[in-house]
Amino acid sequence: MGSRVQYVAGLSPGRSRTRCVICALENDSLRFLGAAETASSGWMRERLADPKAVSETVGQTVREAGRRAGVTVRSCVVGLAGTEVQGVDSRGLYELGHRREIQGDDLEYAVQKAAAEVAVPDSRIMLQVLPQDFTVDGRAGYRNPRGLRCARLEAHAHIILAPVHEHNGLIAALHRAQLDVEETIFETVAAAYAAVLPEERNRGVALLDIGQHSTGIVVYYGEALLHSASISVSADHFTRDLAWGLRVRHGLSLTYEDAESMKREGGCAIPGLTADNSLIEVPAPDGRPQEIPCREINEILHARCEELFGFVEQEIRKAGMDQGLLESVLLCGGGARLTGMCDMAEATLNCQARYALPVGIEDWPVELQDPAWTGAAGLAMYSARLKLHRNIERKAPGLLGLVLR
């Protein structure tokens, strides 16, 4: 008897580009079927300004991905990002009443109590609850103490909060596009799910998702998510810095598109890493192109890059990670494409750095071996995770991380 094939989809509704990845799930194996991307509309920087336009963009992207995959999908896992997505740590104490063996329900209840300890303002929604570890009768550090005997169980959890207006508006836009939402998760967590190897988690790793209008970071040690945050410095700042810097230095009035093109073609995060003496042609107001040394472009980009990795270093310290324990930093998102970003990460953070690319999807195309696609791939993988364990009743958002290892 043939096994049943299920179709899974991940949707990344970015502020610049909307991406969708569709895969086939069969016998616990995930195989790539199709993908599509569309220029986003309906957003004003991070704010959802036109729900109808967002709905049309999403519908167009998913339909095109379905056409390429040869299937029709009706549901997806959706990524959420933005500077207002932030994580907090919490603890939940469960007094069992008498010493007895810890059951799975006890672990879930302790995690729920940790979530209940977080004061969530009306402007925020609890997006994910991610268990870290447990303390059993005062003994800390248990990842899964099921089966042990105790009278006092304490759960440590990381809670990710998101803006309720953007979250609910995005869900409504997808419903308008006739799509069901299986779950919404912090897209940087999804990217880590796709690209971070188990051995990297065990030794300590940070993943940086450099998007158009925000940069997400997650830090793992062991199996636990220690820290998550959003940083306001993003790919957009690099482009605007370039346009402004060349205007001040040379009186050039570049369009945003011209500055973006220059950044991609001749930009580098570290001056001296490329041929700084080479020249790049820049459009001029009088219609006569002007040549600018690449060194000037790279100096402008380097200054913003220093600021970005300064914030990254602060977030890693907040996670309590000594730099000696950090195995590596992984970079994804469209902003990670800038030449020299991995070198800059290594020089600033004193650890190895590489691109975060999807691992574990069969037939993943070479043309999508691009850090900009890692988030969408991770969302599709998370959808497969949900379908594989759909019989598990989850009593709080994100508790899947507790029962799936």
Residues of the chain with pLDDT under 50: 1, 391-405
Domain assignment present for 365: yes
Q: Pull the structure tokens for residue 318.
A: 């907040």
Is the separation of the CB atoms in 371 and 356 below 8 Å? yes
Same domain? For 291 and 206 the reply is yes
State the DSSP string of 123-190.
TEEEEEEEEEEEEETTEEEES--TT-EEEEEEEEEEEEEEEHHHHHHHHHHHHHTT-EEEEEEEHHHH
225/133 Cα distance (integer angstroms): 10
* Domains of the chain: total: 3
| Nearest of 87, 334, 333, 44 to residue 227 by alpha carbon | 87
What would you measure as the largest C-alpha separation in the chain, in angstroms?
A: 83
Same domain? For 168 and 142 the reply is no
Task: Quote the pLDDT of residue 302.
Answer: 95
Domain assignment present for 1: no
323/365 Cα distance (integer angstroms): 35
Same domain? For 63 and 135 the reply is no
Same domain? For 392 and 289 the reply is no
Task: Quote the pLDDT of residue 395.
Answer: 39
Task: Quote the pLDDT of residue 37.
Answer: 97
Task: Quote the pLDDT of residue 321.
Answer: 80
Task: Quote the pLDDT of residue 397.
Answer: 44
Question: Domain with 152 in it: what CATH number?
Answer: 3.30.1490.110
pLDDT digits (tens, 9 = 90+) for 132-182: 999 999 999 899 999 999 999 999 999 999 999 999 999 999 999 999 999
Specify the DSSP element, H or E, that contains 195. helix 187-195
